[in-house]
Structure 1
Amino acid sequence: MHSNELARLAGVTVRALRHYHQVGVLAEPDRRSNGYREYDVHDLIRVLRIKRLASLGIPLERMPDLLDDTGDDAGELLDELDAELAAQIDRHTAQRGVIARLRASNAAPDLPPELAPFLAVFATGVSPELAKFDRDQSVLVAHLAGDGGIQHIARFYERLSEPDLVPAVAAVSERFGQLGPDSTERDIAELIESFMTTFAPVVTELAASQPPIDLTAAADIFAEHTSDLLNEQQQRALEELEGRLGA
């Protein structure tokens, strides 16, 4: 039989047969005088065995010993495959859990799932520009905080999204979003005082429960981000707030 017929009977493509030849799991027969390769039933059986092994996830490079019965590691290989599949199932289960959390929060899939539920609360009543700033900052903070620090950040977001604080947080966010060229020094000072009244107790409370995360090494990254997205008055307010909170 020719390669087209072998491929049809085995349920593979001619391209797959060529690949089997290249990696050495299927011997390549000589060409006949007519230029075609001639396969027989033994080649068909071998291709069917290759398909069966591939369906179990066995890589082609591991197949020759199994196909030629030259190795006795079949049990060990199956154990490895089973462990790999179990790990994949765990990863997929975890991914489905993340997707469920994002769905429940009606959040975008690129958001940190630990922070997504709270960002929806903070986005209420703020401008699209400030909502984008908060979203991007959360992505950056979550990455720089790492697995060990993200839970601390999540507790801060969770505390700020509690019903007793939401109105004050929303008011401060709205006032911050309104800062611009027409804002006076008094506007900035009043915003800072409102911010400190709302946020400082939460920062102090969480800092007392565990040491704060040290992100000073990433200060330049945050500065670049704020300079690109915030106006001069908003940047001044943030700089003063950083000094006040640091003190």
Structure 2
Amino acid sequence: MLSSELADLAGVTVRTLRHYHQIGLLAEPPRTSGDYRQYDVGHLVRVLRIARLTALGVPLSTLPEVLDDPSAAEELLDQLDRQAAAEIERLTARRASIGVLRRAGAPPDLPPELSAWHAEPGPDVPEDMARFEHEQLILIAHLLGEEGVTGLAALLDVPESTREAAAALTSRFYALDDDTPDDEIEALIEGWVEQIRPLVTTMEGMSSLDPLGAALLDQLGARSLRPVQHRAVRALQQHLEQDRPDAHDARGRRDVR
């Protein structure tokens, strides 16, 4: 039979047959006087075996030893079973993540752990602020890593009263502009500090942002926020840094010197 006939019978393409020849999976058949490859049923059986094994997930690079050594089959099946089990586990986890995001109405580019915290923004949230908060969460999630995101999600799982207080402070932050009096800005920062300080204490020992991560978040704020809002965020960070135990220790060491 010719290449096209073998390909039709085996359910592959002529290009696939040529590739099998090139990598040594399929021996070259004799040629006719017209220089056409002339295959027989042995070639067909070989191609059918190759197709079956590749359908099971066997890589082409492993096929020669499997095709030519029947004793390798049991070990191969064990390996394929482990790979299939791992793939099922990954797909099951992926479906679970999709389900969490759909139920929360959260964007698909966020980790599922943060979906409850950042669902669809309300109508009163300015578009630029919604975009900033979304991008900020994406960046924080990447910088903290999987373990850090899990810890952050646990900290954000707060009572409804705390969420309402946070929402009130956030609304005041949204409204900051160049005309906002300094005392109002300072009052907002103090309110933030009082609300966030217990979380900072709880986070001791958890994954935290390194200086590069903090710098990247600062760059995001400088790019996305109004100048007065960016200054307020920086002031909040400075207050929280001063509250850290290691910051007190560092100041104490400097005082001793």
TM score, norm. by length of structure 2: 0.86
State the SS of the aligned residue for 1:181.
coil
CA contact (8 A) 2:29 2:37 kept: yes
Residue of structure 2 in register with 1:92 after alignment: 91
The one-letter code matched in structure 2 to 1:246 is: E
2:249 matched residue in structure 1: none
CA apart distance, 1:216: 3.7
- Residue 174 of structure 1, CA deviation: 1.4
Distance 2:45 2:199 in 1: 70
Q: 2:75: which partner in 1?
A: 76
Distance 1:170 1:80 in 2: 52
Counterpart residue type for residue 103 of structure 1: R
CA RMSD of aligned residues (A): 1.9
2: CA distance, partners of 1:93 / 1:76 = 26
Query: What is the alpha-carbon distance in structure 1 between the residues aligned to residue 117 and residue 10 of structure 2?
Result: 54
Shift of 1:92: 0.9
Given that 2:30 and 2:39 are in contact with CA atoms closer than 8 Å, whether structure 1 keeps it comes out as no
Q: Does 1:200 align with 2:197?
A: yes
Q: Show the counterpart of 2:45.
A: 45
Q: Identify if the C-alpha distance between structure 1 residues 65 and 155 changes in structure 2 by more than 3 Å, giving closer, same or farther.
A: closer
Structure 1 counterpart of 2:165:
168
Question: Which residue of structure 1 aligns with residue 208 of structure 2?
Answer: 214
- 1:150-169 equivalences under 5 Å are 150-159=149-158, 162-169=159-166
Q: Report if the CA contact (8 A) 2:147-2:207 is conserved.
A: no
Amino acid at match of 2:193: M
User: Bigger CA drift: 217-226 or 179-188?
Assistant: 179-188
Residue type at the aligned position of 2:87 = Q
Q: Structure 1 83/212 Cα, relative in aligned 2: closer, same or farther at 3 Å?
A: closer
C-alpha deviation, 1:52, in angstroms: 1.4
Structure 1 distance, partners of 2:160, 2:35, is: 80
SS of match in other structure, 1:117:
coil
SS in 2 for 1:73: helix
Deviations 1:21-46 (A, max 9, x none): 12211112243232321111111111
What is residue 59 of structure 1 aligned with on the other side? 59
Following the alignment from structure 2 to structure 1, what is the Cα–Cα distance between the partners of residues 210 and 50? 56
CA distance in 2, matches of 1:56, 1:202: 50
Tell me how far apart the structure 2 counterparts of residues 136 and 230 of structure 1 sit (CA, whole Å): 12
Q: Tell me the TM-score normalised to structure 1 length.
A: 0.89
> Is the contact made by 1:107 and 1:117 (CA closer than 8 Å) also made in structure 2?
yes
Which 5+ residue runs of structure 2 have no aligned equivalent? 243-257
Q: What amino acid is the match of 2:167?
A: A
CA distance in 2, matches of 1:43, 1:7: 11
Q: Secondary structure at the match of 2:157?
A: helix
In the aligned structure 1, how far is the partner of 2:189 from the partner of 2:206? 21
Q: What is the alpha-carbon distance in structure 2 between the residues aligned to residue 62 and residue 152 of structure 1?
A: 43
Q: 2-side partners of 1:219 and 1:79: how far apart?
A: 47
Q: For residue 34 of structure 1, give the secondary structure of its aligned residue in structure 2.
A: coil
Hey, what does 1:108 align to over in structure 2?
Answer: 107
Deviation at 1:166, TM superposition (A): 2.3
Which residue number in structure 2 is paired with residue 181 of structure 1?
A: 178
* Per-residue CA distance 1:150-181 (angstroms, 9 max, x = gap): 2221122222xx31122221111111111122
Q: Which amino acid aligns with 1:62?
A: T
The answer as to whether partners of 1:156 and 1:203 remain within 8 angstroms in 2 is no
1:237 matched residue in structure 2: 232
Deviations 1:88-128 (A, max 9, x none): 1111111111111111111111111111111127x333212
